[in-house]
Amino acid sequence: MGTPQGHVAYGNCTIVAEAVPGLQNGGVDQARLGVSVPAPGKVPKRLMPLAHLDLAALRRWVITARADLAAYAEALNSLNVFPVPDGDTGSNLLMTMSDAVDEIDRRAPETLVSATRDMAQATLTAARGNSGVILSQLSCGVSEVVEADGGETLAAHQLARVLTRAAQLAQDGVSVPVPGTILTVAAAAASTAERADGAGADLVGVIDAAVAGAGEALLRTRIDNPVLCRAGVVDAGGAGYLLVLEALQRVVHGEGGLAVTGGTEPEWLRISRDAAGSGVAELPVDCGDHAPADGPSYEVMFLLEKTSDDAVGELKATLHDLGDSLVVAGGPDRFSVHVHVDDVAAAVNAGVDAGRAHRFRITRFADQPSVQTPEFVVLALAHGQGVAHEFKRVGLTALTDWYDEEVLRSQLGRVGTLLLCTSPETFDAARGLTTDAMVVAVGRDAAQALAAAAVLDIDAGFDQMCAAAREAAADVASVRVVGDPGDDALMQQIRGAAEAVRGAELMTLVTGDGLTADRIDALLLAVATEHPTLDVTHVAGGVGEPLLTIGVE
């Protein structure tokens, strides 16, 4: 088979640098997780991640994002409980992104500047709902940065600026920002991207940091927002924003395909799905005293043109007094206005008074059932971001701040939790928890924990799932190399681990930040040469991981 972009070929095997794309029938898709063996007579082609975004990459991004939003639209709708439970966030985001794709197809722009300008106008015009208007600000951020620089590519620094500008535009457009929403997710993506850029990261590093930051912020929306905390679900708009960023991440990494495949369930959905539609949950202690009272009954949206700054300012003040969830985005020639009100006529008249108001959309909110927190969850406790990323890619919640018992407790299921432990320290932390709920700790290093993650079947029931995880971890003979004995000694450790397991088929190598890229490449090449029958998976574990963890099964 061919080698997916972002993978590195060594001899007759393909080592995955950024792997674990999803769950397949309850387990990890091993063909894409570790090693792909080429068909006879075919030589794998080395393909590299993108160093910059050009017009072709932009097209792939919006098309991929639209496909992902389509795949998850119903899931996002089911999580839509804030600011009102109208169950349309997924549909709104999908329609907003679809119009952007259609506009680019219709106009067929030949430059990145014109394409991003068209995309910004299309998403602003088509924006549906509060989340759709805020998503349009991501397009506006792209357009502003590209036009300011006047180039035909976006590098790492520009991408960080794009995300920062998008977060600023979104924040400025909202009348009363609320914590634990899509705004929080956008801000986290921007801040982590800026930090990565400031540290000298390339395009891959910047988008990886943005996705990681957005993902962590999305999970925190269940705590930061009282309504979501009561419901036990993440913010639907924030989840949609993360999907769009993850689509860009796959484009940058050179990966194809959808975010969703058979059996896939992202971490934010997994921790929310059992809660959705299951009745009112008990209010957790850190949710605040109560959720906000019921709001207005109607959503009013329209486009505003031929206006002025003073008129827009007056419109904002009027609509703010009339209702809530006010977002006024865009400018200077066209604005998208979104507000929740009871007095529809007053909102419409305010728009007409401010300029040329048109394309009105007025929706009466439908009642939706309340939701509750999940009974059972699976958490991975990791040291390095690279290891955490592997668990996240298969739809698991990964905690790198597991040492904070309050943080760890906030993620536990009401009845039971399976904790995948990547070190003796994480295992001890898991076993040391005192709680009325069932806690099962599995694994003592990253190789064992990843093996356990590969066999998880969330539909099998909690007890059976835990038993399968224990068995998978026990089948891994593993070695953790903490110091740096040198390359020859490391290779000897790898040989010894491989020879110790009769009939070994799979080897997992998790590297810490103490190994340079050149040393890792040399080790992988040596392993492929000496053990041609082994399927080898390499995971760049990152800061906090030991020098090398070897797992053989």
The pTM score is 0.54
The region, left, alpha or beta by phi > 0 then psi within -120 to 50, assigned to residue 522 is: alpha
pLDDT by position in tens, the chain (length 553)? 333 333 333 232 322 333 222 222 222 222 222 222 233 333 333 346 888 988 888 888 888 888 888 878 877 877 766 666 556 677 778 888 887 777 777 778 888 888 888 888 888 887 777 788 888 888 888 888 888 887 788 899 999 999 998 888 888 877 777 788 888 999 999 999 999 999 999 999 999 999 999 999 998 888 887 777 777 788 888 888 999 999 899 889 887 555 554 445 777 877 776 554 443 343 343 444 333 445 677 888 888 888 888 898 899 889 888 887 788 877 778 888 888 888 888 888 888 898 898 878 787 765 444 444 467 888 999 988 888 888 877 778 888 878 878 778 877 887 888 999 999 999 998 888 888 788 999 999 999 999 999 888 877 788 888 999 999 999 999 899 888 888 888 899 888 888 888 888 888 999 988 888 888 888 888 888 888 888 888 888 888 889 999 999 8
Q: Regarding beta strands 506-512 and 535-542, do their DSSP bridges make them parallel or antiparallel, or are they unpaired?
A: parallel
376-474 has the same fold as 298-364: no
Contact 64, 250 (CB under 8 A): yes
> For the domain 55-286, what is the CATH code?
1.25.40.340
Do residues 89 and 236 touch, judged by C-beta distance below 8 A?
A: yes
CA distance 538 to 35: 9
Cβ atoms of 155 and 196 closer than 8 Å: no
**Do residues 290 and 52 make contact, with C-beta atoms less than 8 angstroms apart?**
no
Q: 239 with 268: CB under 8 angstroms?
A: yes
Outline where 335-431 has alpha helix (H).
344-354, 385-393, 405-410, 424-431
How many other CB atoms are there within 10 angstroms of residue 406's CB atom? 8
- Whether residue 109 is preceded by a cis peptide bond, meaning omega within 30 degrees of 0, is no
CATH no. of 376-474: 3.40.50
From the CB of residue 359, how many other CB atoms can be counted at a distance below 10 Å?
12
Domain ranges for the chain, please list them: 7-21+29-46+477-552, 55-286, 298-364, 376-474
CB 5 within 8 A of CB 21: no
Query: φ and ψ at 38, to 5 degrees?
Result: -70, 155
Closest to 309 measured CA to CA, from 317, 298, 300: 317
**Pick among 3.30.300.180, 3.40.50.150, 3.30.70.240, 3.30.70.2730: CATH of 298-364:** 3.30.70.2730
Kindly give the residue spans of alpha helices, DSSP state H, lying in 225-364.
226-231, 236-253, 267-273, 309-322, 344-354
H/E element, 283: none
Report the SS3 class of residue 364: strand
The answer to whether 55 touches 112, Cβ cutoff 8 Å, is yes
User: In a 10 Å sphere around its CB, with 0-12 CB exposed, 13-18 middle and 19+ buried, how is residue 396 labelled?
Assistant: buried
Best CA proximity match to 549, nearest among 488, 508, 495: 508
